[in-house]
Amino acid sequence: MLLIGTLALCAFPSFAVGEVYTYPVKSINLDSAWTPTFFVSYALEHLAPAADFHPVHGIQTSDGGYVMTGKALEAEGSKTTEGFAAKLSSAGSGLWAWRTKSSGSDALNAVAELPGGDLLLAGYRTVGGVVSRTLTKLSADGKTAAWTATFGDSSGKHGAWEMMEVTSTAVILSGLQDKPSTEEMAFKSYGNVAGGKAVVMQLPLSAVTGSTAPTASSATWTKTFYTFFTAKAARALSNGNLACLLYAEDQGASAVMLSSSGATVWGPTHHTKNHGEGTDLQVAADEKSVLLFGHGAPAVGGKGYSGKLTKLGAADGTAQGTKEFTAGGNPVLIYNECWGGVAMKDGSIAIACGTGIEGCGGMTGSDKTDCEAGLGDKRAGAIPRKAGNWQSLVIRADSSGSLLWQRVDSYKDSESPALASSSEQHRTSSAAEWAVQTSDGGLAVFMDEVNGIGLMKLAVSNGSSSAPSPSPVPPPAWAEIDGASAAGLGQSIVAMSSVLLLMSVGLV
């Protein structure tokens, strides 16, 4: 079945570039930590009526820019979701934003770049009451969706793609099929899907580079895991094998290795007891290990989440140890939720997390009192933050998983005061959702911001905690889209900016 995506707008203005609130009490080895060169944030009001944008995945493109994907609401207060993609330049300025504009709920859970610069967007759409696995080919400039492919899902057998990877010869898709209902279509940081059967599919690269959409029959092979709900990731090794992360309600962190033809090499091996929930899986640079990321109950006390990193032997999936990470504070109140990991080229490991109070429901006594007051961390110098007001936690560890440094940040409007004199209204919510190593060796950290999407670029530091001052990011020119004039669009944004909080971030 062929579905055509719809261009929403192909350019958006940079509201500003500013500074970063950095929290020393929660950070470790800040003098060694890599430092922000810019932190930008965009509310994407020009995609209205779509609202509440929630990015979950991102990449750096071959031109040095960045693309992130996720889901929004079709309108404020709506229960219908809408997938979106947004492109930023290498300096963080907004270039274009695109949304699906389909009539039912949909989401874009992953993005990848094809040779030549076109993009693949993986997720799901609701078509005729059926939630279908979808793959969309979008032009590099965000203007044209050549096709949207579906893969044979039908009523009572719904599906979705949760992750995607493009190699030199293939497209590897992981997710679920045969889900009995359309309820709980939740992925990554907005939940876990219930029901269905985990599936991994490999398409030849040639199936997606042309003008015709692939189908399920285009696959080189398809592997179904009948006792798991979804395959959260499938990552290629140089020998063609695939390391996969599987999820079920009673097995939240299981790994399996498939051969280049989809046969099982080992596994599934189960790591929920020590690891908790698995959210991402990557292959170490030397390919001797598989790295499992996520979060779970603290090893000693507490009912919240600590970030978790479990190292598995690539030869047989045997666990080689689990490391735990936290921004500190009361482990009953503070959740450290880690969503993406990076196997750095030098063998080190980076992890993107959000840290904060999840909620106060069910708490009693002093924990309830502290939670309602935002006192999840009572250490000297810690700053109160109410439930739902998150901070970005970025971790870098060595190849064994031992901590090198961690930094905790949130965006700071350029007109807001320094951290010491800031108010709760200044310290708005930022949560790291995904990270990738950039072409210069640093990190791009994709953020869910209280008012939209964000990107923090970290540059490799040689031991200084002071980053260079960000250069202003000029807004791009508006394009004429759907008959709206550039001047009219520009004026509407200028008027809106006078009443909206400008989201701009940088160093304290």
Amino acid (1-letter code) at residue 176: L
Q: Give the mean model confidence (pLDDT) for residues 243-255.
A: 97
- Whole-number pLDDT of residue 172: 98
Q: Which residue type does 477 have?
A: A
Least confident of 248-262, 347-361, 456-470: 456-470
Contact residues for 86 (Cβ-Cβ < 8 A; gap 6+)? 12, 42, 44, 55, 67, 68, 69, 94, 96, 97, 98, 453
Task: Dump pLDDT digits (tens) for 111-149.
Answer: 999 999 999 999 999 988 999 999 999 999 999 999 999
Question: Which domains, and CATH codes, for the chain?
Answer: 11-478 (2.130.10.10)
User: In the block, which residue shows the tokens 């990554």?
Assistant: 188
CB 153 within 8 A of CB 160: no
**Calpha distance 195→175 (Å, rounded):** 12
- Count each helix (H run) and each strand (E run) in the chain, helices first: 3, 31
Question: Torsion-angle region of residue 188: left (phi > 0), alpha (psi -120 to 50) or beta?
Answer: left
For residues 345-361, average pLDDT: 96
Q: How far is CA 118 from the centre of its chain?
A: 20
**Conformational region of residue 214, where left means phi above 0, alpha means psi within -120 to 50, and beta covers everything else:** beta
3-state secondary structure of 370: helix
Whether 8 has a pLDDT exceeding 60, the answer reads no
Taking the CB of residue 400, how many other CB atoms lie within 10 A of it? 13
- Length of the chain in terms of residues written: 508
Cβ–Cβ < 8 Å for 348, 398: yes
pLDDT of residue 302: 62
- pTM of the entire predicted model: 0.89
DSSP state of 420: G
| pLDDT for 461 | 81
Segment 382-398 mean pLDDT: 96
Does residue 500 register a pLDDT over 80? no
Strand-by-strand arrangement of the 277-283 sheet: 277-283, 289-296, 306-313, 319-325
| pLDDT per residue as tens digits for the range 213-223 | 999 999 999 99
Long-range contacts of 255-261 (CB under 8 A, 24+ apart): 255/281, 255/290, 255/292, 255/312, 255/317, 256/225, 256/317, 257/290, 257/314, 257/317, 258/200, 258/223, 258/234, 261/221
The phi and psi torsions of 46 (rounded to 5 degrees) equal -70, -10
Neighbour-count burial for 248-278, b at 16+ CB within 10 Å, e otherwise: beebbbbbbbbebebeebbbbbbbbeebbbb
DSSP string over 295-340: EES-SSS-SS-EEEEEEEETTT--EEEEEEE---S-TTTEEEEEEE
User: What integer is the mean pLDDT of 450-456?
Assistant: 94
Backbone dihedral region of 75: left (phi > 0), alpha (psi from -120 to 50 degrees) or beta?
A: beta
Considering only CA atoms, which of 497, 505, 493 is closest in space to residue 9? 493
pLDDT of the residue at 1: 32
Query: Does residue 489 have a pLDDT over 80?
Result: no
Running DSSP on this structure, what letter comes out for residue 488? H
Lowest mean pLDDT among 80-89, 228-237, 258-267, 475-484: 475-484
CA distance 254 to 435: 22
Output the average pLDDT for the chain. Answer: 88
* Cα distance between residue 58 and residue 37, in whole Å: 18
Alpha carbon distances (Å) from 45 to 13, 96, 216, 494? 10, 13, 37, 11
Of 283, 401, 294, nearest to 342 (Cα)? 283
- What confidence tier does 41 reach under pLDDT thresholds 50, 70, 90? very high
- Top pLDDT among 246 and 499 is at 246
Say if residues 229 and 193 touch (Cβ distance below 8 Å).
Answer: yes
Provide the pairing of β-strand 221-225 with 230-236.
unpaired
Give me the pLDDT at residue 186, please.
94
The model's pLDDT over 72-113, given as tens digits with 9 standing for 90+, comes to 999 999 999 999 999 999 999 999 999 999 889 999 999 999
Q: What is the pLDDT of residue 13?
A: 43
Cα(21)–Cα(413) distance, integer angstroms: 9
Give the single-character DSSP code of 398: -
Retrieve residue 305's tokens. Answer: 């989440």
